Amino acid sequence: MGIFIDVHKKLGNFTLNIRFASEAKRIGILGASGCGKSMTLKSIAGIISPDAGTIRIGEQIVFDSGKKINVKPQNRRAGYLFQNYALFPNMTVEQNIAAGLSGSREEKRKRVREMVGKFQLDGLERRLPGELSGGQQQRTALARIMAYKPEIILLDEPFSALDIYLKDNLQREMENMLKDYEGTVILVSHDRDEVYRFCEETVILDHGNVLVSDKTKELFQNPRLKEAAKLTGCKNFFKAKRVDAHTVELTEWGLFLHVRKDVPENCEWIGYRAHDFIPVWGERKKNSIPVCVENTAQLPFEVQYYLTVSGEKKTNDPETVRWFVQREKIAQLKEKGMPDHLQLSEECMMFLA
């Protein structure tokens, strides 16, 4: 089906300038709070009107400022799932599902029965939202959306207020419920794991602008920009200078990395994820840095080490190296002691502008 969005909206000191197109069925919009994620969804749904631009859902242009097109929200075939599900508190489950449906009484009743069965709400039809669990509320909200056969579903941080256990349960439930849905789903989140889990393609926003967009796994592997890498969870950024096509200097320490692949000419940083370092005991290996422990943080399932690069300081305030070691690897450290060096795998290096 696909979606195209090119919109501009100014609200106070904040300006939204979003442009992206995708044919993917599951799209993620990732960014920090206040970056314009929800405003983008509300523009697609028609809840707010951009100052200028174009929005196309499938073959239908729902907004075009130049042609004075601004389709009403109820005619956009867009299902919007709010963070708190926005169920009508004084309506029963079946009344919530029926809200907004058109057709005869019998047609509505038949559609509600169909949705009750599909979303496993049998026996809950006459309950109010306040009498439902979080998962039952979510299923009711999705049933209400799906009842009128939307072409696109917009999920606005649907799991952000939940504890970890409930979040995992509801994420799995939603995956199952949307498995057979043929339309487009756009998930807005500040949670990188959520986006990685659900989405084929990801758009990363920062201060109202698109930083990068790509297939999700490729984007996490190569975010291309330092700010985008931060939002995908990268913890280490080393100031870099391209020496030649296969050599980079880590300028904080005067250390050199030698790689087989071509180093981009605009490379200013090496990004490296905290779990990907390879410990080295004894003699220094290629692309490794000598380290000593500055601080540690003991967590239930890993130990986080904050390290300095020993004897290799070229700047007054060199970057701390973050190395996170998962529980199953701690035994090796207890047996062998802290490594003398940490090696950077070429496959895990990110060359960033």
Q: Could you report the per-residue pLDDT of 192-224, keeping only the tens digit for each?
A: 999 999 999 999 999 999 999 999 999 999 999
Does any domain span residue 171?
yes
Residues 261, 205 share a domain: no
Residues 220, 287 share a domain: no
| Residues 235-242, mean pLDDT to the nearest whole number | 96
pTM for this entry: 0.87
Helix axes 134-147, 105-118, angle to 10 degrees: 140
Q: Are 46 and 78 within 8 A, CB to CB?
A: yes
The larger pLDDT score, comparing residue 263 to residue 159, is at: 263
Question: What is the rounded distance in angstroms from the CA atom of residue 158 to the CA atom of residue 135?
Answer: 11
Does any domain span residue 335?
yes
Question: What is the rounded distance in angstroms from the CA atom of residue 9 to the CA atom of residue 12?
Answer: 10
Residues 99, 66 share a domain: yes
Question: What is the rounded distance in angstroms from the CA atom of residue 215 to the CA atom of residue 227?
Answer: 18
Does any domain span residue 229?
no
Q: Quick check: 286 pLDDT over 90? A: yes
Final residue of a structural domain among 189, 224, 259: 224
Query: What is the per-residue pLDDT across 97-119, written as a single tens digit (0 to 9) for each?
Result: 998 788 899 999 999 999 999 88
Question: What is the rounded distance in angstroms from the CA atom of residue 245 to the CA atom of residue 264?
Answer: 7
Band of residue 319 on the pLDDT scale cut at 50, 70, 90: confident
Residues 135, 281 share a domain: no
pLDDT for the residue 312: 61
Helix axes 134-147, 164-177, angle to 10 degrees: 30
| Residues 14-38, mean pLDDT to the nearest whole number | 94
Q: Quick check: 169 pLDDT over 80? A: no
Q: Quick check: 276 pLDDT over 80? A: yes
| Residues 302-319, mean pLDDT to the nearest whole number | 80
Q: Taking CA 273 as the corner, what is the angle to CA 271 and CA 274, rounded to the nearest 5 degrees?
A: 130
Q: Quick check: 144 pLDDT over 80? A: yes
Phi, psi of 249 (to 5 degrees): -100, 130
Which residues, other chains included, contact 41 with Cβ-Cβ below 8 Å and sequence gap of 6+?
29, 80, 154, 156, 186, 188
The structure tokens listed for 32 are 């920090």
Q: Are 61 and 53 within 8 A, CB to CB?
A: no
In whole angstroms, what separates CA 348 from the centre of its chain? 20
pLDDT for the residue 217: 96
Q: Are 245 and 262 within 8 A, CB to CB?
A: yes
Question: What is the rounded distance in angstroms from the CA atom of residue 235 to the CA atom of residue 46?
Answer: 37
Q: Quick check: 7 pLDDT over 70? A: yes
3-state secondary structure at position 330: helix
DSSP class of 91: S
Residues 125, 260 share a domain: no
The larger pLDDT score, comparing residue 2 to residue 268, is at: 268
Does any domain span residue 21?
yes
Q: Quick check: 313 pLDDT over 70? A: no
Q: Quick check: 295 pLDDT over 90? A: yes
| Residues 152-156, mean pLDDT to the nearest whole number | 93
3-state secondary structure at position 257: strand
- Domain residues for 65? 3-224
Q: Quick check: 314 pLDDT over 70? A: no
Q: Quick check: 243 pLDDT over 70? A: yes
Q: Quick check: 139 pLDDT over 90? A: no
| Residues 169-191, mean pLDDT to the nearest whole number | 85
Residues 219, 72 share a domain: yes
Final residue of a structural domain among 199, 224, 249: 224
Band of residue 315 on the pLDDT scale cut at 50, 70, 90: low
Query: What is the per-residue pLDDT across 49-84, written as a single tens digit (0 to 9) for each?
Result: 999 999 999 999 999 999 999 999 989 989 998 877
Band of residue 294 on the pLDDT scale cut at 50, 70, 90: very high
Residues 106, 124 share a domain: yes
Q: Quick check: 170 pLDDT over 90? A: no
Q: Closest by alpha carbon to 338, among 265, 280, 284?
A: 280
Pairing status of strand 3-11 against strand 288-298: unpaired
pLDDT for the residue 162: 67
Residues 158, 136 share a domain: yes
Q: Are 45 and 78 within 8 A, CB to CB?
A: yes
Average pLDDT score, the chain: 92
